[in-house]
Each structure stands twice: as C-alpha cells, then as structure tokens.
Structure 1
Amino acid sequence: MKILTYQKFVKTGMFAIALMTFGITTAQQTAGDSAKEADIQPGVTNLGGSVKVIDNKGTIKYLQSKNGITMLSNTTADVTTTTWQLGGTLTDDTFIDANGNVFGLDGIELVTTELPSTDATTESNHGTGTGYTILVRDEATGATKKLLASDLLQSGQESFTAAAAQVSYPLTGSPVLPAFSQVWVYRNGAKLISNVDYTVSASTVTLVPNTVVPNDWTVYAGDIIEVQYVK
C-alpha cells in the first residue's frame, strides 16, 4: 500500500510540474510577432507595426510606436529583438515641459566655415538646402521655427543729395526702419541728434531743422544726408 501511494504521488507530482512548465512557457514574451491592423483594435490604425506580448496572466497585448518614435525589429538565430528609438514623424503636437530643469543637447557642431542659408524653404527636409538657419521659439504657440540669419540682424545705408529745405527722405525699397535709437542720420558728415534733429516712421526719415540760435540749422541744396540703420 505504501509503494502504491508513493508511485501515485510521483505521478501526480510530475503532472503538476508539467503543468507549471507549460504555464511558464506560455507566459513568456513573444516579441516581434507582427500583428495585423484588425488584430489590434477595430478602427485603429496600425502605425509602424506592433509587437505582440503575453503577460504572466496570459493576457495578449500589443505595443506600438508612433509620434516621432521608430520601432525596428531584427530576427537572428530565432531570437527577435525589437528596438524603439528616436526618429520618425510627429503625428501629434508634442510639448516637453522642462519644469525648471535644464533641457539641452550635447555634441552639437560649431559653425565655423558655413555661410548663412539663402535658399532655405519652409518645412524642408535636411539635404534640400545649403548653409545654416537659426532656430527660434514662437512664444504664442511654443513651436520651434527656423529663421534666416539675414532676418535676425539687418543693416542698411543710403545717402541722398538734398534739395533746398528738403526734410523727407524715404529709403529705397521701403525697408521698415527700427526705433530711432537704431537709426543714425548724418548731414554733410556731421551726426544729427536722434529724435531731436530727425524722426523715423516706417521707411522714411524726416529731418527737423532747428531755428533756435545758436543751434539753428537748415537744409541747403546739395547737402549730403546719409542714413544708417541696424535691426
């Protein structure tokens, strides 16, 4: 009787171990299985494929990559390795809140020989233009945009030969002039006092001759009026 009980115990134990082994095997991750779009969820687009996994309770789940993350799968010697990495197409507006912490990029190349871009276009891909542009932040939307270096800092100069009593000098090309503190006007080489001897509006410089002695002056025919600005 004892022998029969022992054999029965052994058989029962082996069966239990077999069940446990089967359960552990089926609970392992089956990464790399390509799931069809309909297998994930009806009506949901399968973006860039998916990875099928089975958790320790036997629940089947699918992992997908999207919104700037790329999923790469490589199968070697019956082992599938799936890697998620930065790089891809943003499908949704994305914001990172630095929350007072430093957000930076190391390893950025310093521009030493490249020239500012003159052929940059909106929303272009890399390799479609030359030179460099400058990244700026739109404070209204938080969007990162690019700016031509020539638009970041502009300067200009133009000179006029005055007619008698001429006070208005519109610049060629109608550039929008900055504040008067960034506009310098000279009469026959002598600098005029900004916002006193001249005013600035849009693309026009207007002289304001002084009639009060001893600082009186006027505009004579043949005077050279030079305008310089930077913005």
Structure 2
Amino acid sequence: MKTKNIFSSFKTLAFGLLMLTGAAVSAQQTTGDVVKQTDVNPGTTTTAGAVRVIDNKGTIKYLQSQNGITMLSNTTADVTTTTWQLGGTLTDDTFIDVDGNIFGLNGIALISSETASTDATDGSDAGTGTGYTFLVRDEATGDTKKLLASDIDIITSGQESFTANATDNGATLTTYALTGSPVLPAFSQVWVYRNGAKLIANVDYTVSASTVTLDVTNDYVVYAGDTIEVQYVK
C-alpha cells in the first residue's frame, strides 16, 4: 500500500465533500457540536456511520454522513469508499440557492399525452397515485408542492348557436342559456352575433352566469329563424 497515494486521495475526497456541502447540502448540521456516529464495519453498507482516516499530517479524523448518503468499507485492499448520492429522508428544511446561476435537469422524459391525476393525495409516496400533477413553488416559503391540473386556471373557449323560434319573434328580451351551464366571463369576453352581424356588448345583449339576454329595444328586432351565435373565451 502506498501511504502517499492514500493521503492524497483523502485530501481530494475531503475537498470534494466540502464543495458539495457548501453548494447544495443545506440539510446537513451547520451549528453545534457534531456527534461522532458508530464506526462502519468493514464489508457492510449503511446510510449513516463514521470512517476513520488519517490526513497528510498524521492526524486521525473521521468521515461521516447522513441524509441518505451511502458509505461502504471494503474488506479487500484496505480501501474505504464513500459514495454520495441524492436520496433518503430530509431531516431539516433544505434550500439550494442558485445565486443567479442556472439550475436545471437533463435527461427528463418527454410525454406526448398527459392523463391528469384525480387521486393524488397530500404527502404521498411514489406508486400511491395515478396520472400527472404539476410541481409548483410557494413564493412565500419557497416550498415545492404539487397541484392538480383541475386546480389550474386554464384558458377555455366555447361556441354555441341558437335558432330563434316563433316565441322569440319580436320579443323585447330574449334569453339563450348555453348547454352545460358554463359560467360565462365578463361581457367583454363574450361575443354575440345575429345572422353573422356582431351585436354590441352590454348594449344589445347582457351576460349573466350561463345565459345571454338580447335586449332588442336598441333598434333591432329578432325574428323567428334568426341564427344567434355566442362565442366566449375565459
């Protein structure tokens, strides 16, 4: 065994651990005394433990980890390997401050058809629900949360045509209720046409809930057979 090479490896490992901790692992203990964990037994795998090392000045130190970091000590070649991998359960609130730098994820799968989740539950683990939810950020706390597609304000539009009947013929106020009772937006987002001619919003017609009311007192008359078309977007 070459002692110099081992010391050099430990220095490199220690530097790497410091860089990783300073950049991202905010969940690690940052205040108070660090309690030494139980020594890792050779040939075993554990999610927490301490490995004794000697630095290039001969000082005995310990490497230990928590929060899902796996440490493996080998029974051959007197080599102790520490593998750092994201995972496990966070024991503290964790933030990654990109400080104006780009933080991204590569290799994300692309899905061509989405099925919105209808059975997603609060705090659920993988495999306990179906479909897809959206990941969103709580601007007040920075917390990452999930959101059902049905709770997102999505732009929708609609169109429906009506044919005036004998009852509508010459009537002062004529009402048309849209199929399915969609709640219409403000009149400025609803367009009504009579035989292809656009009527004036909030003058020739008014909007309430899912009903459009024609007010023919404004110099026009509805006759039986007229086509009344309603378009809206919200």
TM-score scaled by length of structure 1: 0.54
The corresponding residue for 2:48 is 49
CA distance in 1, matches of 2:214, 2:88: 59
1:212 equivalent in structure 2: 218
Query: Which whole-Å deviations, capped at 9, do the CAs of 1:154-199 have from their partners, x for residues lacking one?
Result: 64759799986365969867x6654545445566887644455455
Give me the identity figure in percent.
55
Q: Does 1:40 align with 2:3?
A: no
Partner of 2:146: 146
Distance change in 2, residues 1:191/1:145 (3 Å):
farther
Task: Supply the AA of the counterpart residue of 1:58.
Answer: T
Q: Which runs of 5+ in 1 are unaligned?
A: 1-20, 32-38, 43-47
SS of residue in 1 equivalent to 2:108: coil
Whole-Å Cα distance in 1 between the matches of residues 94 and 201 of structure 2?
Answer: 46
Match of 2:73 in 1: 75
Cα gap change, 1:102/1:157 in structure 2, threshold over 3 Å: closer, same or farther? Answer: same
Q: TM-score, normalised by structure 2?
A: 0.53
Instruction: Provide the C-alpha distance between the structure 2 equivalents of 1:122 and 1:91, rounded to a whole number of angstroms.
Output: 19
Corresponding letter in the other structure for 1:141 = T
Shift in alpha-carbon separation, 1:204–1:143, aligned structure 2, 3 A: farther
Q: Which residue of 2 aligns with 1:64?
A: 65
Aligned to 2:120: 120
Secondary structure of 2:215 counterpart = coil
Shift of 1:65: 2.3
- Alpha-carbon shift at residue 87 of structure 1 (Å): 1.6
Matched residue SS, 1:40: coil
Change (3 A) 1:99 1:40: closer
| Offset of residue 85 of structure 1 | 0.9
Q: Secondary structure at the match of 2:85?
A: strand
**Cα offset, 1:71, TM superposition:** 1.2
Distance 1:212 1:226, change over 3 A: closer
- Aligned-pair distance for 1:50? 2.8
Residue aligned with 1:63, SS: strand
* Count of residue pairs the alignment pairs up: 186
Q: How does 1:135-174 map to 2 (within 5 A)?
A: 135-152=135-152, 153=154, 155=156, 165=173
Q: Which has the larger radius of gyration?
A: 1
Shift in alpha-carbon separation, 1:222–1:52, aligned structure 2, 3 A: farther
Cα distance change, pair 134–185 in 1 and its aligned pair in 2 (3 A): farther
Instruction: Let me know the Cα RMSD of the aligned residues.
Output: 4.6
Amino acid at match of 2:35: I
Give the 3-state SS of the residue equivalent to 1:85 in structure 2.
coil
